[in-house]
Amino acid sequence: MTARAAALAILSDVLRKRRPLDAATDDALAAAQLSPRDAGFARAIAHETLRRLGQLEALTAHFVPKTPPPHRAGPALEILLAGACELLFLDVAPHAAVDGANRLAAADRKAVHFKPLINAALRRIAREGKDVLATQDAERLDTPDWLWQRWCDAYGEEATRAIARAHLVPPQLDILGTDDLPELRALPNASTLPGGTVRLKDPGRIDALPGYAEGRWWVQDFAASLPARLLGDVKGATVFDLCAAPGGKTAQLAAAGADVIAVERDAQRALMLKVNLERLKCKAEIVESDLRDFAPETRASFVLLDAPCSATGTIRRHPDLPWLKAAADIGACVAGASELLDAAAEMLADGGTLVFAVCSLEPEEGPEQIAHFLQRHPQFRRLPVASSEVFGLTDLVSAEGDLRTLPSHLIEKGGMDGFYAARLKRDENT
């Protein structure tokens, strides 16, 4: 019950208070002081409920046409959603899921008045829910309207459905290291991706995995590891890594022999970057500054900007994101990234290479951003990415020669985050 109570606290924070899932999860699990097993159960309930929120809302509306109003019912709706998730997607025994929901309702001064409704609805869902699920268009229901239409316009409906299906697959853990990581590759739940990435399914505690304490590897999604590779050979060169936290790209560049200057505006994230690099024994100069105010004494031949964005490419890791954000958020992200990109361009030496990246699926934040940048800066030109630079995965290179990964790419191995990256060259003597 403590795990279910923690899951309910997470869902209420996300759905009613609009808090990010990661922050809500951290707070709820810390307050509950759960065992690793119970913490995993709480996390599974909350994350899977949000991953399947569209389906679960349609399902509960089928069995409870008049939704209990939150101001009178408290967390009754979240209890219903989580209970249905346990029954239909987590394969919890019906008696355990229904009893757990009833006890959660009994413990809340508002939801207790709706306990008979919750009990009756979940008993019906246990009997008839899978038949209702079979009639649903899961891909459409679990993708909010604002994203569905945008992605259909950008990629077509078939690709949009593939993206939506990928979002329903819980993400695995991708690890990149300073060596071949044989101990991790030998684990029974391990697989290997191009470029040395080790992928683990159900890894358990990350800090208990072989090589963590020794600082031999870091966690980094396969797609997120690609933009730094586009800089090419950086050994012995100065590289500005902008918006650097949490440090995966910084570690990549340092491991490749670069002299990295990592710029991060947020003090807490800069501290996280410092701690991560110390564990990895990676050397880099950390500068805590808004990159628009960062004025290096000399320009660098290589600049990497992983700009803040809507992060719609990371929905499989952040299933709350589609329900907390809206299309209106995209414009603010585009404007902010445009300023950062202009500032990054000023730091690049003549003849140098700039890689701009965002973990977004939105065209305005990727190719359209670059098109506008090239109009403003005629001294820059696009340096197309060759498929050989992304391990021969031709699907990851757009018609314009940019990197474009989708969550549905490599789905047979578990998929990847959605990333966009463009490589730009500054002309000599400009």
| Residue 14: CB atoms within 10 Å | 24
User: In the beta sheet, which residues pair with residue 219?
Assistant: 175
Distance CA 265, CA 104 (A): 42
Indicate the burial class of 285 (C-beta count within 10 angstroms; 0-12, 13-18, 19 or more). Answer: exposed
Indicate the burial class of 211 (C-beta count within 10 angstroms; 0-12, 13-18, 19 or more). Answer: middle
Distance CA 365, CA 102 (A): 45
Catalytic residue among 85, 243, 282, 359: 359
- Residue among 210, 160, 161 at smallest CA distance from 184: 210
The region that residue 36 occupies, defined by phi over 0 for left and psi between -120 and 50 for alpha, beta otherwise, is: alpha
What is the β-pairing status of strands 348-358 and 300-306?
A: parallel
Phi/psi of residue 218, nearest 5 degrees? -140, 160
359: annotated active-site residue:
yes
- Residue among 265, 315, 257 at smallest CA distance from 282: 257
| Length of the chain (residues) | 430
Task: Spell out the residues 6+ positions from residue 90 whose beta carbon is closer than 8 angstroms to its own.
Answer: 44, 45, 48
Active site residues: 359
